Amino acid sequence: MSAVFMAERGLGEPVEKTVLNNDAIKNGIKYQEEILTNNGSNGHYMNDKLTYVDIIAYCLVESYIDFPPLKGFFSNETTPNLIKVYKTVSSNPEIVEYLKSEKRLAN
C-alpha cells in the first residue's frame, strides 16, 4: 500500500493513512479499459452516446489525474480508453458550457 498522509489520533499520536492497494486500483482501471475496448474504444461506455457513466469516468479522471499517489495511472499510454472518454466528455459543448457556468459547484 502507498502511504498518502499522516493523521493524528488521540493525543497527537501520528497514524499513517494509506491509499487502496495499488493492485486493486490497477485491476479496476484495467477492467474499465476492457469494457471500453469492448465498446469499440470510441470514447463512450455504451454505444456512441453520452451517458452518466461517461460523466462519472470523466469526474474520476479529472479528480485523480494529478493526484500524487496515483501519478501515472491515467495517461494515453496506460489508460488510452479512459483518457479518450475524458477528452470526449470534456469536449462536449453542453459539458463545456456547464463547466464554465455558475451552476457548477466547484470552479
Q: Where are the domains of the chain?
A: 21-100
Kindly state the average pLDDT of the residues 22-48.
93
Position with higher pLDDT, 62 vs 18? 62
Position with higher pLDDT, 74 vs 19? 74
Contact 91, 50 (CB under 8 A): no
Please tell me the predicted confidence (pLDDT) of residue 14: 54
Please tell me the predicted confidence (pLDDT) of residue 26: 81
Q: Is the pLDDT of residue 16 over 80?
A: no
With CA atoms as reference, report the closest residue to 60 among 70, 50, 49, 46.
70
pLDDT digits (tens, 9 = 90+) for 71-88: 778 999 999 999 999 999
Q: What is the pTM of this model?
A: 0.76
Please tell me the predicted confidence (pLDDT) of residue 5: 46
